[in-house]
Homo-oligomer: A and B are copies of this chain.
Amino acid sequence: MKNIIEAMQWRYATNKFEVSKKLSDEQLESLLEATILAPSSYGLQPWKMIVVTNPEIRTKLQEAGYGQPKISEASHLVVFAVEKHIDDALVDAFIKSVSDVRGIPLENLAGYAGMIKGAIAPKSEEERKDWATKQAYLALGVLITAGAIEGIDVAAMEGFDPKKFDEILGLEEQGLETKVIAAAGFRASDDPTAQYKKVRYPKEHMVIEVK
């Protein structure tokens, strides 16, 4: 396994994927499991990953993604979608899960449930989705880093029509809304982008130290 800095230096916004090179089941499991382990606000995990391998669907998604080839060519396409209905029922489901995993009676978790519901209550529907979206982006950061560590290319993309993605994947009916996507797989040996020098602002620009 690479050192974390080597790993993050090695990764880049892969533009051309090797079509024939697929993630193994173990590699996919590792990426998904690491991402599911991402923390989220209160632990609510208000997002899901739709992992698309179906070629016909991938072709349709590519059309809804301004024709970007990696949408269909990368080994796997991971669509991050957030819950449209962030409400008391969502909190109750989570609290039930805490109760089950930790063996704590539900009544002992009533205070925690009330606190989360109280935090959500004043937010509008849009604010709730924005908040869920931030949790999904945090998870995307975990996916990208996990990929880098494991030598798997993960390219995040915001350039696509989320409404069309929802339609193609039937997410509306599942109470989900597409927010960001990532292509995962392996860089093509002739991806010219791989040769570009990485552009990052230096630490002096990105970090302010308050000592």
- Chain A residues within CB distance 8 Å of chain B: 1, 3-5, 8-9, 11, 13, 30, 32-34, 36-39, 41, 43, 45, 48-54, 57, 94, 97-98, 101-102, 130, 133-135, 137-146, 149-150, 156, 158, 169, 174, 180, 196-201, 203, 205-211
Contact = CB atoms under 8 A, between A and B. Distances in A.
B50 A200 contact: no
Given A101-B197, A150-B4, A201-B36, A48 B140 contact: no
Interface centre among A13, A36, A97, A133, by most chain B C-beta atoms within 10 angstroms, is A36
Contacts of A34: 4-5, 8, 145
A210 B51 contact: yes
Interface of A is mostly: helix
Contact of A142 (B54, B57, B145): B145
B141 A38 contact: yes
B203 A33 contact: yes
A206 B4 contact: no
B33 A210 contact: no
Contacts of A142: 8, 141-142, 144-145
A99 to B, nearest CB: 9
A74 to B, nearest CB: 14
Given A50-B208, A141-B140, A208-B48, A32 B203 contact: yes
A195 to B, nearest CB: 10
A75 B30 CA distance: 30
Given A8-B142, A54-B210, A130-B130, 8 more contacts: A1-B3, A5-B37, A49-B207, A51-B210, A97-B199, A139-B141, A149-B149, A174-B208
B53 A211 contact: yes
